[in-house]
Amino acid sequence: MTLTLGKSCAFNANLPEAYHFAGQVVDESGQSIEGVSASSSLGTERFCAGVEDLITDVDGRFAVYSNEARLLEDHPKWGKRTAAISFSHDLYIEAEIERLVDVEPSKRDDLRIVLQKGFSIGGTVVAADGTPTADVPISMTQTEAYPRKVVRTDEQGHFRFDGIGSGDATLRVVDARLPTRTW
């Protein structure tokens, strides 16, 4: 086939079957959550690649597609293939459907994902002289899955992490701002 500017051409393609996964993300009380990131991915024991990212609508609804048919076979070089969808929101503990092949076909269009509130961690960052420090990045890591979140301090040096799962957490504060120089 040759493409020419301003001309039409016929293109026939045989696309592999795509699987549709759709549903609603809700909190523990059943209320829908708007603005949840739903990210589908493909992976093996040696790599992981994002496929599709979307944000849930005002009713917490999402719909993603995955080419799962090829995933049932192992890859000779990279190992067992998997497909997953992860769900994240700053105020909730992240969740994941780890193996899309395990979702029953009759339930793929009516998934209900429940995100839990979890714990909150907060405080105030102050300079060596005791004054609050604004606009400083703070990272929080955990040993569990989806372990990292980053926030910045507000004008009074306050920060807060929400949606933290149980287990150990490490906070890291670095004020890497350089003093202003006059040349």
> What CATH number does the domain containing 36 carry?
2.60.40.1120
Q: Does 27 or 90 have the greater pLDDT score?
A: 27
Q: Which of 70, 89, 114 is the last residue of a domain?
A: 114
Residue 100 lies in a domain: yes
Residue 89 is predicted with a pLDDT of 93
Average pLDDT over residues 92-97: 91
Residues 61 and 130 in one domain: no
Percent of the chain with pLDDT over 70: 83
Is-above-0.75 flag for pTM? no
- Same domain for 146 and 80, yes or no, is no
Q: Kindly state whether residues 106 and 129 are assigned to the same domain.
A: no
15 DSSP assignment = P
Looking at the fold, whether 92 and 130 belong to one and the same domain comes out as no
The four Cα atoms 173, 179, 180, 183 give a dihedral, to 10 degrees, of -140
Same domain membership, residue 157 and residue 83? no
CA distance 23 to 109: 6
Q: pLDDT of 142-162, one tens digit each?
A: 876 556 788 999 999 999 999
In angstroms, the CA 57 to CA 79 distance is 36
- Tell whether 30 is covered by a domain: yes
Count CB atoms within 10 A of the CB of residue 65.
Answer: 13
> If we measure between CA atoms, which residue out of 59, 67, 51, 53 comes closest to residue 23?
59
**68 and 143 co-located in one domain:** no
Query: Nearest to residue 61, comparing CAs of 100, 109, 116?
Result: 109
**Are residue 63 and residue 146 in the same domain, yes or no?**
no
Do 72 and 106 belong to one domain?
yes
Place 92 in a pLDDT band, splitting at 50, 70 and 90: very high
Tell me: do 30 and 106 sit in the same domain.
Answer: yes
Among 9-18, 31-40, 79-88, 92-101, where is mean pLDDT lowest? 9-18
CA distances from 88 to 56, 157, 163, 173 (A): 10, 26, 9, 23
Cβ–Cβ under 8 Å, residues 81 and 71: yes
On whether residue 178 sits in a domain, the answer given is: no
Say how many domains are in the chain.
2
Least confident span in 56-65, 69-78, 97-106, 136-145: 69-78
d(CA 68, CA 147): 27
Average pLDDT over residues 13-18: 71
Q: Tell me: pLDDT of 140 over 50.
A: yes
- Containing domain of residue 76, as a range? 19-114
By 3-state DSSP, what share of the chain in percent is helix, strand and coil, each rounded to 5?
Answer: 5, 40, 50
Work out the pLDDT band at 65, boundaries 50, 70, 90. Answer: confident
Structure token digits, residue 20: 């549709």
Q: Please indicate, yes or no, whether residues 97 and 165 belong to a single structural domain of this protein.
A: no
Out of 3-12, 124-133, 146-155, 173-182, pick the least confident.
Answer: 173-182
pLDDT over 90, % of the chain: 36
Look at residue 25 and tell me if it is in a domain: yes
- 24 and 95, same domain (yes or no): yes
Mean pLDDT check: name the lowest of 38-47, 97-106, 124-133, 143-152: 143-152
Verify that 98 and 126 share a domain, yes or no.
Answer: no
pLDDT at residue 180 greater than cutoff 60: no
